[in-house]
Amino acid sequence: MSAAAITPDLIAQHQITPGEYQKIVSILGREPNYTELGIFSVMWSEHCSYKSSRLHLKKLPTRGKLVVQGPGENAGIIDIGGGYVIAFKIESHNHPSFIEPFQGAATGVGGILRDIFTMGARPIAVMDSLRFGRLEGTPNAARNRRILGGVVSGIAHYGNCFGVPTVGGECVFESCYDGNPLVNVFALGVCRKEDVFYAKAAGVGNPVIYVGARTGRDGIHGASMASAEFTEESKQKRPNVQVGDPFMEKLLLEACIEAMHTGAVVGIQDMGAAGLTCSTCEMGSRGEVGIEIELDRVPQRETGMTPYEIMLSESQERMLLVADKGREEEVFAVFRKWGLEAVEIGTVTNDGKLRVKQHGLVVAEIPNRELADEAPLYDRPHSEPLRRVPMNPRPYTCPDVSSALLQLLASGDLCSKRYIWEQYDYLVRSSTVAGPGADAAIIRIKETGTSVAMSLDGNGRYCYLSPREGAMLAVAESCRNLSTVGAQPVAATNCLNFGNPERPEIMAQLVEAIEGMADACRFFDTPITGGNVSLYNETLGEGIYPTPVIGIVGLMKTVQPTGIAFRAPGRSVVLLGGVGDNDETRFGSTQYAKVVLNQLWGLPPRLDLDREKRLQSAIREIVNAGLAESAHDLSDGGLAVALAECSFGGVGARIDLDSDMPPERLLFHEGPSRVLLSTEHVERVTAIATKHGIEAPVVGVTIEIEIEVSQRSKRLGLWGIAELKTAYEQALEAHVR
């Protein structure tokens, strides 16, 4: 056992404050040894303990009639009817992906997949929310391109091999992500309701079994790394990033699910952040029992590992489970079949302690509950949210709308992400009803005849201008995406990416975003069943935009999807929700302001929650009645960009808008609560809209091969679809090369 003396320096290196150290001493009734200090440092890291955010996360709604399991487990669970449930969650892998993009992103996928199948659910979909620095026009462009390439290959490598379809997501470029890319991975799985498993140890005397990959020295202190700002030295932390093995994970999935079906498994948890430490003390704490393990029995990849290293290793593809005493052999037989190592490393005890032995000697002994659940809780001071932009723009002149649309369609945020998603297998499992490029991804559940729709949304620029409104807009958009494909939003998961919470102006961003998200989720009745907080997203003192990302799931019948593309000429084009309203202040947050004017000012678009809800009810009813031939919600880039996207199937539109807004605002403002649809049934569509109190002007008609837009009969622009589509489709690949 290491004899390292516990000095103030060593404590500081573990990012434990003097106050936290005193708490450790009082819990133990003595000074911790080196191994115990390491164990506390990872469990009480920001990443594992949520010590800066927990107080505010309590404001989020977590209950609902379909919620089977809310926050606190490895994933949230929702009842989808027919005897089945879905488990889903989103998690960040930002810091590792900056240090080693390929493995960082790959293990991000691996980690969230384990969270899902730990619950007994088979993963059936993955989505990714990505943020990178700009690919051009910055000295860091080459590095940003390398990070993008690595992250995308890493996600593809892991998801494709594992056999889960990657069906959607988002990808945005901003300078603030230059030194701090965001990689948020969402995963969703399905199982029968009675097959749900929990990460809870129970039954004194039951064996604790370790399965999967061997433990190595990789990833030690990964959780702590993810809880600090980046500095010039961060690259030296490359050994802290784990290496993923998707094949091992696939075997682990199949073996775990098979083992669960034997009935001999009591509880199970994956070893993710903080590895063996986290899985043992959390399972013990949830079950209000103790766990005793002998490290000599832990399968190890290298010799001479210290207790400290074994307990803190974040080697991937490992699980810990508790089996029924006397039925271990049934569990071992399953793992043998799949060629996996399964070893009894300890037992469940009745003293509520995590007791770690090596060579028969106790090397750490800590009460589980205090370690897992009594981490420090901080009410960090918060002031006004950081915001270094004016309310009004510098004087600007607008180019003609024709070139502006082309410029927008070829911009990083709005262009086709085909280059990315074609590298992902989005079809495996033959259940993908709508994949990348749709407003929301749709996966059918073969067993129930129903489908699950899902959407990931976040807008850092909106949130930078107003964290509260930005977070609400993200929830609204996510729900709108689901409603546009005909799904009823039912539950959510969130990933909160922020800078250093010890700065009051950053903490204020976090608090306001959480409150905004809470209000909106309550309003749309989409409780948050789990998620993740990633703080300290700062490099050399430069923080990211506050970037809360929301993943919302919805339920629908399994039907042929409506799709966003106009399908035939001669159909009426309806702008459900109307042209909207927008003033100059609310125009400063748009893609137009960013891409065409190169400015950022003002506030995000104004959101009227009640109106948004009525709009969503209307579009759901229209789509589910089969009245829309196509439907696409308006978001980034506004009406003109949505119109172009609807036309990429080859059928365009001629529209005439009745509004006195300046043309650039009319076409490119991003006011929410609007959907563009084409239909043969104008009267029935209008009747439904009227019933919900939503205007539904017929703005034009679908035509062949071009898009023509007028304002009160004065032509604003005429585009050939082919030209727009070329700009849209080729931009990203050109940026990446």
Task: List interacting residues with other proteins (CB under 8 A).
Answer: 153, 156, 160-163, 245-248, 250-251, 338-339, 421-430, 432-433, 444, 446, 558, 560
- Based on CB atoms, which residue is closest to other proteins, 80 or 685? 80
Least distance to other proteins, CB of residue 187, Å: 15
Active site residue 632: no
Only one residue has tokens 């079906």, namely 261
Under 8 Å between Cβ of 391 and 121: no
Q: Which of 14, 47, 157, 221 is catalytic?
A: 47
Rounded-to-integer distance, Cα 712 and Cα 113, Å: 53
Q: Where are the beta strands (DSSP E) in 250-385?
A: 265-270, 290-294, 318-323, 342-349, 353-358, 361-367
Least distance to other proteins, CB of residue 250, Å: 6
Q: Please classify residue 18 by burial: count the beta carbons closer than 10 Å to its beta carbon, then call 0-12 exposed, 13-18 middle and 19+ buried.
A: exposed
Least distance to other proteins, CB of residue 317, Å: 11
Least distance to other proteins, CB of residue 167, Å: 11
Least distance to other proteins, CB of residue 424, Å: 6
Least distance to other proteins, CB of residue 394, Å: 42
Least distance to other proteins, CB of residue 736, Å: 11
Rounded-to-integer distance, Cα 67 and Cα 495, Å: 19
Rounded-to-integer distance, Cα 187 and Cα 112, Å: 6
Least distance to other proteins, CB of residue 121, Å: 15
- Based on CB atoms, which residue is closest to other proteins, 30 or 557? 557
- Based on CB atoms, which residue is closest to other proteins, 162 or 545? 162
- Based on CB atoms, which residue is closest to other proteins, 246 or 287? 246
DSSP string, 617-665: HHHHHHHHTT-EEEEEE--TTHHHHHHHHHHTTSEEEEEEE---S-HHH
Q: Which of 14, 56, 93, 157 is catalytic?
A: 93
- Based on CB atoms, which residue is closest to other proteins, 420 or 475? 420
Under 8 Å between Cβ of 272 and 314: yes
Contacts with 167 (C-beta within 8 Å, 6 or more apart), sequence order: 125, 126, 127, 426, 432, 434, 435, 436, 441, 443, 454
- Based on CB atoms, which residue is closest to other proteins, 338 or 524? 338
Under 8 Å between Cβ of 198 and 73: yes
Rounded-to-integer distance, Cα 24 and Cα 30, Å: 8
Closest CA to 471 of 633, 612, 614, 607: 607
- Based on CB atoms, which residue is closest to other proteins, 448 or 659? 448
- Based on CB atoms, which residue is closest to other proteins, 55 or 428? 428
- Based on CB atoms, which residue is closest to other proteins, 305 or 556? 556
Rounded-to-integer distance, Cα 435 and Cα 292, Å: 46
Least distance to other proteins, CB of residue 72, Å: 31
Rounded-to-integer distance, Cα 484 and Cα 536, Å: 36
Q: Maximum CA pair distance of the chain?
A: 87
CA angle 272, 278, 282 (to 5 degrees): 120
CB atoms within 10 A of CB 469: 22
Active site residue 93: yes
Rounded-to-integer distance, Cα 573 and Cα 702, Å: 7
Tokens in use for 374? 């009594």
Tokens in use for 110? 């691996």
Contacts with 686 (C-beta within 8 Å, 6 or more apart), sequence order: 574, 696, 698
Cite the active site residues: 47, 93
